[in-house]
Structure 1
Amino acid sequence: MPDSPGCTHCRDGEALDFAISMAFQPIVDLNSHQVFAHEALVRGPAGESAGSLLARLTDSNRYAFDQSCRIKALEWAARLPVPARLSINFMPNAVYRAETCIRATLEAAQRYAFPLQRIIFEVTEQEQVLDIDHLSGILRAYRKQGFMTAIDDFGAGYAGLNLLADFQPDLIKLDMALIRGIDRDSVRQILVDATLSMCRKLNIRVIAEGVETREELDTLRAMGVELFQGYLLAKPGFQCLPALQWPN
């Protein structure tokens, strides 16, 4: 069977044709009062938004972009250095063969002396995935390598319960649309409570992302959420680890 375009790019070492850098935002465990992980967020070399970079993606550079983001995240995580875990986003539609597409990540982790068990691979549910079996296979291959796995934007997109039926990640991140104003919205409270109950039974930890108000945080904590990410605690720091605003 001939190589896919992505495998050809990997073999030939094709580079991304524009520069990128990274920002970092903490995910905190409020029960232990510790940083659980930092999520690496792609930015331009002068701090340009992720959206401005994603707008430049095409079928021909998507694979190189995904690979470059992984390597740049590890480079900056080692340089800062990032404590605890590092959460790296990946694009499932840019992964052709999980076992070969992960090679550059493994090499970068070794080069920067970043332990594999401290890496979380995070897939967004908002990217349309046409083949759930393919995505499940990617996540299984990453877990086999010792990486933790997470589903981002849970409740917002394409995979949802179909993916959870086939693969149970270590973490899910509740989409911020479910979080916004949850202290005043009984429907959102019911949906999140049901998700938390399901995840407890599946042994999946839940992260509430996009938390912006103390009322949202207090409501979610009362519901049993332990892991939080959002502007209330810290905005992303460009090429740095931002200072945390711990709630009283």
Structure 2
Amino acid sequence: MQLGCQGCRSEGHAFDIAMAFQPIVDVETGRTFAFEALVRGSNGEGAGEVLARVTPENRYAFDQQCRVAAIEGAVAAGILETDARLSINFLPNAVYSPVACIQLTLKTARATGFPSDRLIFEFTENEQIADTDHVENIINTYRQMGFATAIDDFGAGHAGLGLLAKFQTDFIKLDMELVRGIDASLPRRMIVAGVIRIAESLGITVIAEGIETCAEFDALRDIGVRYIQGYLLARPGFKSLPGITLPNERYTAVA
């Protein structure tokens, strides 16, 4: 088996990064379902500052280093003491070959003792994905290898029904612009309810992200969203796994 490709072995592009972790909460059980790894600078600098240094020439190395940092950082923070999954953002255009470019990720998981079947890979693109066949191949390959996949920022930009018609991931994460103020917006509630019906019919789980108010939380629960992520429940923890607090205060849990 090919253990890597030229892009995955790119040298000379070292990023000084660390990870923050934000819980994705199963609000029916009050437990953390997964932690999303969010890139930061090594001293806690914001994602924007880090991403501003990513170019077409170094994005392959960046993608690989993020995967390693996410797994190593989560294990160091104590994720193995929980049953939570780990969600890692990846760049589809940074994957030449799904099998070749996953090898460093698998090696890192083995080295740290992290079960690879607890990995979720989320993808999003600010620009239109030109080669949807390539992305579909990545998703199918990852599924065959036991990973879960997610479309991030669903409902924003090009991450919408067109992609969902082309391929189906295990999860879709509703863009925060769809859920912002959803309690006071009938159109938003109707759109999200429609997305949930479509997702359920396709066997896809919906995650709502960016929840900041109790009213948004209650509206999403009324619609039927089970998995929720946002500042209301927990802010990202830099190099740490933060505890969660649900609005109804029935649960206060550490992952």
Of the three residues 75, 78, 102, the one matched with 2:75 is 78
Structure 2 residue identity aligned to 1:142: Y
- The C-alpha deviation readout for 1:5-26, integer Å capped at 9, x for no partner, is x93132x452532310000000
Q: What is residue 91 of structure 1 aligned with on the other side?
A: 91
Q: What is residue 34 of structure 1 aligned with on the other side?
A: 31
Secondary structure, in 3 states, of the residue corresponding to 1:100?
A: helix
Structure 1 segment 8-27 matched on structure 2, within 5 A: 8-10=6-8, 12=9, 14=11, 16-27=13-24
Offset at residue 129 of structure 1 (A): 1.2
Matched, 1:192 2:211: no
TM-score by length of 2: 0.91
Offset at residue 72 of structure 1 (A): 0.5
- Inter-partner Cα distance in structure 2 for 1:128 and 1:141: 21
- The C-alpha deviation readout for 1:25-79, integer Å capped at 9, x for no partner, is 0000011111100000000000001100111111111000000000010001111
Asked whether the equivalents of residues 19 and 44 of structure 1 are also in contact (C-alpha less than 8 Å), the reply is yes
Structure 1 segment 139-154 matched on structure 2, within 5 A: 139-154=139-154
Unaligned runs of 5+ in 1: 1-5
Alignment size in residue pairs: 242
- Inter-partner Cα distance in structure 2 for 1:206 and 1:213: 19
> Which structure has more RCO (C-alpha within 8 Å, separation ≥ 6)?
2
Offset at residue 164 of structure 1 (A): 1.6
- Inter-partner Cα distance in structure 1 for 2:169 and 2:206: 10
Offset at residue 241 of structure 1 (A): 1.1
Asked whether the equivalents of residues 15 and 65 of structure 2 are also in contact (C-alpha less than 8 Å), the reply is no
* CA pair 225-125 structure 1, distance change in 2 beyond 3 A: farther
- Inter-partner Cα distance in structure 2 for 1:148 and 1:127: 23
TM-score by length of 1: 0.94
Asked whether the equivalents of residues 136 and 163 of structure 1 are also in contact (C-alpha less than 8 Å), the reply is no
Q: What is residue 242 of structure 2 aligned with on the other side?
A: 242
Unaligned runs of 5+ in 2: 249-255
Matched, 1:58 2:32: no
User: Pairwise CA RMSD of aligned residues?
Assistant: 1.4
Give identity over the alignment, percent: 56
- Inter-partner Cα distance in structure 2 for 1:243 and 1:55: 30
Offset at residue 125 of structure 1 (A): 4.6
